Amino acid sequence: MSRELSARHRAQSGCIERGEAPAANEASEESLRHPRPPDYPSLNRSYDASFRPGDNYRASLPDLQNGPASLIVGARARLEHVGISNFRIPIRYLLRAGGEIVLETSITGTVSLEANQKGINMSRIMRSFYHHAEERFSFEVMAAAIDTYKKDLGSFDARLLMRFRFPVEVTSLRSGLRGWQYYDIALELAENDGNRRCTMHLDYVYSSTCPCSLELSEHARRERNQLATPHSQRSVARVSAVLADGVPGPLWFEDLIEMARIAVPTETQVMVKREDEQAFAELNAANPIFVEDAVRAFAAPLIADPRVGDFRVVANHQESLHSHDAVAILSVGPTFANQSLEPTLFSSSLLGK
């Protein structure tokens, strides 16, 4: 191997022998590692933190998403949803008792896209929401955000979803200990063909004791003097309530939580001592429930409340006896009249956990 080739080989491999002089300059080393065509321009490879674009420079930037329809890939079909999912921002929410709370909120914002449009500038959805994020939450603020990004993006339909964990301080059953229960809540504002719909979603976690297992256990004790334990399991109900138009007073997060607690009082506990564990066993024995019973129990206060329009209850009893779950759905009104079993319909958390 010639001395020149040997030096090039060592330079390319990053090896320099002891006492050997380094390459003449960095440019020559760069040319050895990345050979360029003779007419290739010499570009600046260092970041210029001081550069500030002017209006003319901004106007010259390529914008493929607003390009002509000839750039569309695939079928020229209308998209029901295109946008961003799970960008996070702190939002201030009002409390029923007064005051407010700041909660980390996951935002999903989408718009429709007509068949002759290439795409959207998705950052505009974020900028539109940030414009309203300093205001205290209300569905009116969500509506203003939708109005802004519909206008910015030139879309007809839009949807906004806000997901968060809402803390409520609760007291244990007998010991008096206090702790924080966190509820997965999602707020949805959807506009379709000029009609807007506001929906509140709640995941309520509870214990369900099987009535059949309870009776079989009691039979074993009574007939054979045999100790037996009825099976119970952690269960999740997802309550989705459309807010009715033209009724006085808002539907608070705390209202929907209380409806669920009254319907099925065996909510999982936060702080527990021995007397609380015993009380919870008694509470479950007093309220055994099949999954069919559960969805009907949750539905009763929703039907009675004039602030609630259409609604759906999805219950999932994550069986401890069986290797499968027991599930049920009850819906009222056309909003949730969908016969499809979506893959995530019975998932256990609005936050995907």
pLDDT score at 18: 47
Residues shown for the chain: 353
- Distance set, CA 68 to CA 73, 86, 157, 170 (Å): 11, 29, 21, 57
List the domain boundaries for the chain: 1-41, 64-336
pLDDT score at 27: 55
The 3-state DSSP class for residue 128 equals: helix
Residues with Cβ < 8 Å from 240, sequence gap 6 or more?
199, 200, 201, 202, 311, 312, 313, 314, 336
Residues 266 and 285 sit within 8 Å (Cβ to Cβ): no
143 pLDDT higher than 70:
yes
274 pLDDT higher than 90:
yes
| Alpha carbon distance 281, 15 (integer Å) | 72
Residue 200 CA neighbour count, 13 Å, CB half: 22
Give the highest mean pLDDT range of 58-67, 81-90, 194-203, 266-275. 266-275
Residues 69 and 117 sit within 8 Å (Cβ to Cβ): yes
Q: What is the DSSP string of 26-61?
A: HHHHHHHHS---TT------S--TT----HHHHHHS
Per-residue pLDDT tens digits for 309-347: 999 999 999 999 898 999 999 999 999 987 666 766 777
Residue type, position 157, single letter? D
Give start and end residues of each alpha helix (H) in the chain.
Answer: 3-13, 26-33, 55-60, 123-132, 139-153, 211-224, 253-263, 274-286, 291-304
pLDDT score at 11: 46
Per-residue pLDDT tens digits for 201-250: 999 999 999 999 999 999 999 999 999 999 999 999 999 999 998 887 89
Per-residue pLDDT tens digits for 98-111: 999 999 999 998 88
pLDDT score at 269: 97
- Confidence grade of residue 119 (pLDDT, cut at 50, 70, 90): confident
128 pLDDT higher than 90:
no
Alpha-carbon dihedral of residues 124, 128, 134, 137, nearest 10 degrees? -120
- Confidence grade of residue 5 (pLDDT, cut at 50, 70, 90): very low
**How much is the mean pLDDT over the chain?**
85
Six-digit token string for 211: 């009535």
CATH classification for the domain delimited by 64-336, as one of 3.10.270.10, 1.10.3720.10, 3.40.50.720, 3.40.50.2300: 3.10.270.10
pLDDT score at 120: 76
15 pLDDT higher than 50:
no
Per-residue pLDDT tens digits for 184-209: 999 999 988 878 899 999 999 999 99
Q: With a threshold of 0.95, does the pTM exceed it?
A: no
Residue type, position 24, single letter? A
Rg (the chain; Cα; Å): 30
28 pLDDT higher than 50:
yes
16 pLDDT higher than 60:
no
pLDDT score at 145: 81
